[in-house]
Amino acid sequence: MFSHDWQRPPLPAQFALRVAILGGIALVVFTIIFLRLWYLGVLSGDRYLAEAQNNQVREFTVQAPRGEIVDREGRPLVVNRTALELQVKPTELPRKTIKRRRVIERVAKFAEMKPERVRREIRRQSRELPASPVSLKRDVPYELVYYLRENQARFSGVSVERVYVRRYPQDTLAAHVLGSVGEVSEDELERPPHNALAPGDIVGKAGVEGTYDSLLRGVNGATRVQVDALGNPTGGQLSVREPRAGNDLELSIDARVQRAGEQALASRQLPGAFVVMDVASGELLGMGSSPTYDPSIFGRPVIRESELERLWAEEASVPGLNRVIQGLYPTGSTFKPIAAVAALDSGDLTPDRVIQDGGVIEIGEQEFTNAGETPHGPVALVDALRVSSDVFFYTVGAEMNDPSDDGGSLQEWMHKLGLGSSTGLDLPGEAAGLVPTPEWRNDLYREGLTDRPWSIGDNVQLAIGQGDQQANPLQMAVAYAAIANGGEVVRPHLALRVTDPAGQSIQEIDPAPRRRVDIAPAWQRTILEGLNGAATEPGGTAYGVFGGFPVETAGKTGTAERPPREDQSWYMALAPYPDPEYVVAVTIEEGGFGADAAAPAAREILTELLDVNPQRIEEVSGGDPVVTE
């Protein structure tokens, strides 16, 4: 017997509700899908069509050449050259593991690298610059370019690109001054002045390359080409935007003087630094640190970690350290002219005051002696500078001691003449140094970081450039320049002018002095006379080096104690005398007496700076040079 639908019992209410709910959900989902498809196909169709068409066009950046850097006579210090660079674009490598491995193995063979190292470079560079190509090797032959073009299908994501590379015609000359360039980092892209750049852009990282990066860096161009689904070009160029070269930078450095200074330091085979500066303008004609390094290593696509580590290795004497602005040392007796200005201003000293130098003096139940306890008898300021009487300056240092927080006249004049703070040099990384004060030492004592509070002995030692004082050669050059020019505390600088690629000057760089201090003409004449005697008169501390120098000079030796190291050698020169145009500062770590290492190095620099014929200087018995006509 057949059953009929009308005879079936009605569906349970619960089941019917479920069917209705599922039907409603299906209807909603269908409606959403329909509306989404309608939105994509009708309302947004034109936009997605345009994006699809844009995917057929690839824009390639055309790197702009950076501006050149030249010395004051136009001699090239940094220029550009073009190079062919083997690159890998990680985003365009095959996605399948096997194919990707084969491409990497092939490109490793061309790069003369192990496949694992290629993978490591891809990971490292992609982590630092996710959107940039990975550079593997530079200066590859044209044959590789042709081979890749003919076999591009086997080398997905691999290409050879033309790039601009910094070249150094003077080799390592002025490496610390010039600095280096490199690809902008991910961190730099997040903050000014690089937040408007794109990954892969080249920027200055150190030295004047970093300080004047915005002027030296050009504006990149771009080439738009049609590509297929694999990113391979399918036709000609669609559009070209030519790159705009950066501006050129002229430095105050004189390459001849710079080379003389670097050679003078290198010949001593000890770490050290030198500065040559115009006392009136602050222009730096020379500035070098030893040991130095090869700046071209930063132009390589891959830099060995061992090379970077060596730049800061103690066993290599830290070649990356710019001792001119980052080396902080006690200055020894080269500090005495600064102490003299402070004592004259305090009223505790006059140019004619005579102090009895018996070779030793007792101050605060402690004995302070001259080098070798040599007595100099009654001396006024001129002779005290000529023979470098420690007792004379111990005495005035004790008289200027002031246990108040900021100290007395000595600390005040140290600050006035530029010690204890940045000089304002147009290079990054300058160290401020230290002007020791009662407050500074007493704070250390309260914190348990030293064994005693401030005492009169601290000021006594400070007056001869010892104790806790720390200064760099550039700060000393600025202080001596202020004494020589009558009170202008200049702002040292390396840049002179900026010119556009056509050679037209667009900016002159001549910073104003930081301040003017009151140095009475009588004080200036007295101090310069004493320094002249130290260099040119028998009994002067540098007479054995400068006694027969063809150009009249003034100068001061310094032998600074720096335990546990050997004594540090210093020399400060002002030339020509009596109206100095230049100051030369030289310091050599563990060089011993100032007259033994630093002073001869300064003489070699002055020989080039003042265009002295070396044949006119002849060493005679006793080591005293004389002029031969």
Integer Cα distance of 64 and 23 in angstroms: 64
List, in sequence order, the alpha helices (H) in 112-254.
115-128, 142-150, 175-178, 207-211, 213-216
Buried-state track 375-404, b at ≥16 Cβ within 10 A, e below 16: ebeebbbbbbbbbbbbbbbbbbbbbbbbbe
Tokens of 99: 């194919």
Integer Cα distance of 129 and 119 in angstroms: 15
> How deeply is 89 buried, as exposed, middle or buried, from its count of CB atoms within 10 A (0-12, 13-18, 19+)?
middle
Length of the chain: 629
Mean of the per-residue pLDDT values for the chain?
A: 88
Amino acid 629: pLDDT: 34
> In the beta sheet, which residues pair with residue 273?
289, 587
Amino acid 124: pLDDT: 80
Q: Is the pLDDT of residue 620 over 50?
A: no
Strands 355-357 and 284-290: unpaired
Integer Cα distance of 588 and 591 in angstroms: 5
DSSP assigned state of 615: G
Q: Is-contact 133 198, C-beta < 8 A?
A: no
What is the per-residue DSSP string for 6-23? GGSPPPPHHHHHHHHHHH
pTM of the predicted model as reported, rounded to 2 decimal places? 0.83
CATH code, residues 255-627: 3.40.710.10
209 or 306, higher pLDDT: 209
Integer Cα distance of 623 and 596 in angstroms: 11
With CA atoms as reference, report the closest residue to 270 among 586, 627, 616, 610. 586
Residue type present at position 174: A
Helix (H, G, I), strand (E, B) or coil at 541: coil
DSSP assigned state of 453: -
- What is the number of other CB atoms lying within 10 angstroms of the CB of residue 146? 11
pLDDT tier, 149 (very low <50, low <70, confident <90, very high otherwise): confident
Distances (CA, A) of 213 to 189, 203, 208, 377: 14, 6, 8, 57
187 or 256, higher pLDDT: 256
With CA atoms as reference, report the closest residue to 474 among 495, 491, 496. 491
List, in sequence order, the alpha helices (H) in 400-492.
409-416, 438-446, 456-462, 473-485
Residue ranges covered by each domain of the chain:
58-251, 255-627
- What is the number of other CB atoms lying within 10 angstroms of the CB of residue 239? 10
What is the per-residue DSSP string for 279-336? TTT-BEEEEEEES---GGGGGSSS--HHHHHHHT-GGGT-TT--HHHH--B--GGGGH
Most confident of 121-130, 229-238, 264-273: 264-273
Sign of CA dihedral 459, 460, 464, 465: negative
Mean pLDDT of 95-108: 86
CATH architecture of 58-251: Alpha-Beta Complex (3.90)
Q: Is the pLDDT of residue 8 over 70?
A: no
The Cα diameter of the chain in Å comes to: 147
> How deeply is 447 buried, as exposed, middle or buried, from its count of CB atoms within 10 A (0-12, 13-18, 19+)?
exposed
Amino acid 154: pLDDT: 84
Q: Is the pLDDT of residue 2 over 50?
A: no
Residue type present at position 163: V
Q: Is the pLDDT of residue 625 over 80?
A: no
Strands 495-499 and 248-251: antiparallel
Integer Cα distance of 37 and 345 in angstroms: 88
Q: Is the pLDDT of residue 91 over 50?
A: yes
pLDDT tier, 367 (very low <50, low <70, confident <90, very high otherwise): very high
